[in-house]
Structure 1
C-alpha cells in the first residue's frame, strides 16, 4: 500500500517529536512519494510532487511575518508537496515553547494533541503563538502542516520513510507481476468471460461488471460482502447515465471506474468497477491496473468469437442454466440478472423448448451449422413477435427459451404468433422446410422467474416426446397433448416397462430380423386405424386377400386376437415404449 502522511507521522522517529497537526488534518491521506529536507525559502523547480518536506523553525517556516510564512506554505502546496513538517526548536537549541532545556525522548503530550507546551512547567506562549501563526498562514490550503515540538534526527526520519517507500514499490511490483501472470494464464486457457471477470473482482477486492454496447451485462461478480441484487438492479438505466470514455476513467453520478473493451479497433463494451470509489485510496493504482489487464484479457478472448451475438447468447445461456439447476438463490437476484442481460420484467414467465430433427447420419459440421441457423431463427422470430426472451442452445437439436409475458391470457396468442413467425424464419421453410421437423414444448408458466425457469426440463421433455408423435401438426405442445405417450416417456427407463414391451413384441421382432421388415410396420398401421380393415387397406394399398393373410400371420406370431381391445392396447403400449427407448428402430 502507498505511504500516506498519516503513516509517516506514526513512524517512531517522528512520534518522538510529538507531532501536532496545525492545519490540513483532513488531507493526511495524501500519498508520500519521498522525503525532502530543506531550509530553502523557495523550492519551486526542486520538487516533483508527493514529497514530504522536513524543515525547522530556523528556516523560512520560522518567519515571524505571517505574509512571508503564508507565501512559503503556498509555494510548497503549489509545487505538489504532500505536506510540511516543521521542527519547532529555536536556533539556540531550546524548545519552542520557551523551555531552556530540550525534553528527553518520550516526554511531552501525545502525538497531534495539545497546544505545543510540554509538561515541565515551561512557558508556552511562544509555542502557542507559533502554532496559531502557522494555522492562519495555512488557511485555504489543502495541505497538512505539522509542528514537531521536540527535536528529532531528520536522518532517522528519511531512512525510515525511504525504507517504507522502497518496500512498497517492491510490493507493487510483486502485485503487478501476479496480476500479469493471472490474466496471461487465463488468456492462454481461453477462459470464459465469467472467469476473467471473477478473477478481476478477486484481485481488486471490488465488484466487476462486463457489459456490451447496449448495456446488457455479459458477466458480473459482486464484491466482498456485496450481492448480485444490489449490483445489477436497474443496471441498464444506471449505466446509460455514465458517459462512454475512450480510456480508463471515472464518470457518472456513482463515480464508476470503467475502461472500454476493444476488439479489432471496435468497442465491444466496457469493464466497470461500480464500487471502486469505496476502496481505500491507496489501492487505486492497483484497482486500475487490474481493470485494464482484465479488459485486455477480455479483448483477447473475444477475438475468437464469431460475432458479438455469440457472447450475448452465452450470457443468457449461463443464466438459464443457473436458474434451471437452482444455482440462483432467490427471485430478486434472478430478476436483477435477467433484466441485466436483456429480459423485460413480466407478469408471467413461460418456459419453452424446441426440438429440431436432423437427417440421419448428418455430417457433424453440417449439424452444427443447422443448429446455429435454428438458434438465429428462434431469436428473430421472438423479436418479430415482440416477445422479450432469454434463448440458449442446450444441446444438439434442442433450444430452450424463457418468454416474458404481460399477462397469462396472452400465452396462447403469443405462442401461436411465435410459432408462425418461426416457420417463416426457418431455413428452407415451406413444404419441405425445417418447419416440418420442429416441435415446440411448452411448460407450465409462472409469475416467478425462478419457478418458470426450473420448468424448462419439463418443456424439453414435452418437445422430445412430441418429436416422436405422428398426427396433425400443432403450433406447440403442452403436457396435456402428450397423454399416454407422455406418461410412457416419463417411465421409459423403468425396467418392468421395458420387459413388458419386449415380452409383447419379441416374436414379431425375431421374424423381422429373420425375414426382413414388413409385419411390424403393418401392425403399427393396424393399431393406428384402430383395427378398421377398410382404412388399413387404403393406408397400405394392399389387396384384401394379402392384407388378411398378413394380419393372420401377425396373430399367429404373437398368439393374440387383434380384434380383442386389450390385446390392441397392450401392443400399442409396447410399440410406444419401444419407440421411446430405441427411437432409431422406429418403423416409419
Structure 2
C-alpha cells in the first residue's frame, strides 16, 4: 500500500536542503501538491493540502503576516515554504511567529533550491504512488481471476456458510479477504448468509440486515459505504444464482484502491457465475439426454452410457427421487445448485421435474438429496423403492407416483413404500379415480335413482362376502333368490361377468372410493 508524501519526507531529502523554521510542527501532514504564489490571499486558488511556496511578498502584503498565515491554516494547507536569498536573507520573525501561533509548519527553502525542484519531487512521489496503485490493482485482478478459476476451497463454515464444494466463489472471497485484511460476506435474496470469510463473520449479518436489504432491493446498481469511527463496511450488489449482496468490512478505512479491488471482485464473481451458468446449462442438457438413455436402453446398455458420459451408477440398488411442486415456473436454480454440491449419485432435469438417482443401500444418500429441497417450501419430492440399476424406469414411475401424491396431499415428501401401503386408492389421482367409478357404476346408479331397487348396495354387500349368497342376503335382509336376481340384473346392466376376479376387483375399487 502506498504512503502519501509528507513534509517530513521532503525535509529528509538532503538534495533539497530544506530547514524547519520556528518551533516543532506536525511534519507528517501529507502533501497534496506544491503551489507558488505571491498573492496576499492565494486561498481562492487552492484546494487545501498544498505546500505553498513564497519569497516573502505575499506575507508582507495586504493585512500582514499574521492574517496571511491564519488564512492559509484555516484553508487546510499542509505547510508554508519560505524562499530565502532573494527578497529576504532569512525568514522574518513576524512570519515565524505567525506560523507558530497558527500551528502551520514552516520550511525554509534555500536559494540554491528552485521551487521547481520541490514541484518535481512531489510530482515524482505522486507518480510513484499512482504506479503502485496500478500495480496493486492489477495484481488483485489477476489473483481474484485465478481464484475464480480454481476448484480448491479456501473456507469452511456452518450451515448456510461457505463449505467444501462451493468452488471458485469461495476462493474469490477468501482472496479478497486476504488482500484487504478484511472480513467478507455474501447474503442471498432471502437475507441468508451464503458465504462467510472467516466463518465467524457470519454473525455480522444480523446487524446489517436493513442496509443489506436496501442494496439488494435497489432498482439500479448501487454501492453503500458505512463508517463508524475507524470501522468501515462496503456493500455492493452482486449477481450469483440470484440477487445477492457482497459485504466487506474491517476496522480501518478503505482507500480508493481498496474500494476498486472490491469492485473488481464483484466483476469477477459476476463473470465467473455467468460463465459457470452457461456451462451449467449445457451440462444439464447433457444430463437430461443421459437420463433419457438410461430409461430407454436395456440395463447393461444404460450403465455403459452413464459410465461413458458421467460417473458410473453405484453398485447395488439405487433409489430415484423426483422433485416437483406447486410452482408457477421451473424449479429454483438454487435447488439445482444445491443438488450439484450435496447430492451423491446422478441427477438431471426431465420435463417439469428433477430426477436424482442415488445409492439405495442406506437412507443417508436419500437424506442428502432431500435436504436442499427442505429450504424451498413449494418443492415436493417423491421417493421410489430401491431397485436394480437396470430397472430405473420402474423406479422413476414409483417416484413420480409418490411425487403426485405429495402434491395432492400438500406434503414435502412421500415415499412410494408408504403410498403402496395405503392401498390402490392412494396410487390413483382422485379425479381419475372418481371418473373411473362414475363411468363403471353409472348404469347401476341410474337404475337405483329411478327407485327400481338397490343394486349398488346389494353389489357392495355381495362382494364383501366374496360372492356367498346366504350371508350376503342375510346381511341385506332379503331372500337369497332376490339377491341372485339383483346380481343378474347388475351383470346385465354393467355388461360384465361378475364371476371374473378382475371385474370383481374393479367394482370393489369403484364402490369404495369416497364421494
- When normalised by structure 2's length, the TM-score is 0.47
User: Which protein has the larger Cα radius of gyration, Structure 1 or Structure 2?
Assistant: 2
- When normalised by structure 1's length, the TM-score is 0.42
Structure ranking higher on relative contact order (CA contacts 8 Å, 6+ apart): 1
